[in-house]
Structure 1
């Protein structure tokens, strides 16, 4: 503990340490509360489940992106004796973006996040949402090729989602 000019103990050191601890605790609490909402992005669809999935598939097909796989999670759960609301997860990929990662040894570490996954799900009250990882935010922790590729992929995949939920943009032929 420090002493001031009169020889009394100073509380400045304790105040500083207390402030730092309170700031750290506040930051951790804020990240715990906001983290899921920051890392995941969702949009409510103005359409029903079937129309939203149709529009999403058409929006992907109108780009250079491809649907690699479709997971019917409701069906999978029913096969195992569980009941779940409708949920379809799409694995989508841009070959150009994938090659930026997969052809470089130093960048391939992020391949576990590939391909991009987008979920269309229906809540118990009948509302339909499109959910995906906030790759734009996740990209900020990387540099170089990975960051640029993830930023570009995020921008393009968001355009696909926008075309899906925008009533003025019908991606279907």
Structure 2
């Protein structure tokens, strides 16, 4: 077998292993989950207060436990919040080419209980998700992610 063929086989095998690793790790890389130091209700209360103090808005919230209960399903407490910072949103939405990321807006944060009785805070890993876009989108999403993490830092362990 020639050295070239062995090199090609090695490269293909390496790429396959890398793909499998990335595929397996992707969900954990894309989402960030932290345990809250408070109960569910306290977490929601402190979170909403911290959002306001940071100058952000809650553009919407969804009590998924209540919504699903109305459809005959029983789930543990979960609320999804849509956060908006007008200064960051405007930087992206005023530009035609950058509007492509509008489905990622507003920023979503979930607060929920698990069967272990603890409360958790989850959000998209915006710093990682923004990088491939580059330019204005990356710059703005990095700043927004930093501020969002400062808000969340007050409620996690």
Q: Unmatched 5+ residue regions in structure 1?
A: 1-9, 167-173
User: How far apart are 1:11 and its partner, in Å?
Assistant: 3.1
Question: Which stretch of the first structure deviates more once superposed, 58-67 or 12-21?
Answer: 12-21
- The residue aligned with 1:98 is 89
**Map of 1:118 onto structure 2:** 109
Question: 1:72–1:87: 8 Å Cα contact kept in structure 2?
Answer: yes
Alpha-carbon separation, structure 1, partners of 2:116 and 2:66: 19
State the TM-score, normalized to the length of structure 2.
0.96
Deviation at 1:149, TM superposition (A): 0.4
Q: Is the 8 A contact 2:63 2:79 kept in 1?
A: yes
Corresponding residue number in structure 2 for 1:149: 140
1:35 alignment counterpart: 26
Partner residue, 1:5: none
Give per-residue Cα distances to partners, 1:118-161, cap 9 Å, x unaligned.
00010011111100000000111012111110000000000000
Using the alignment, how far apart are the partners of 1:63 and 1:39 within structure 2?
24
* 2:78–2:113 Cα contact (<8 Å) kept: yes
Of 83, 86, 92 in structure 1, the residue corresponding to residue 74 of structure 2 is: 83
2:3 matches 1:19: no
Q: Which residue of 2 aligns with 1:6?
A: none
Q: Aligned pairs, how many?
A: 157
Moved over 3 A (4+): none
- Give the number of the structure whose residues are more often helix, by fraction: 2
Contact 2:38 2:155 in 1 (8 A): no
Root-mean-square deviation (CA, aligned residues, Å) is: 1.1
Q: Does the 8 A contact of 2:79 with 2:112 survive in 1?
A: yes
Return 28-37 or 113-122, whichever deviates more. Answer: 28-37
Corresponding residue SS for 2:97: coil
Structure 2 residue ranges without an equivalent (≥5) = none
- Residue of structure 1 equivalent to 2:123: 132
Distance 1:108 1:53 in 2: 30
User: TM-score with structure 1 length normalisation?
Assistant: 0.87
| Comparing 10-19 and 48-57, the one that deviates more | 10-19
* Larger-Rg structure: 1
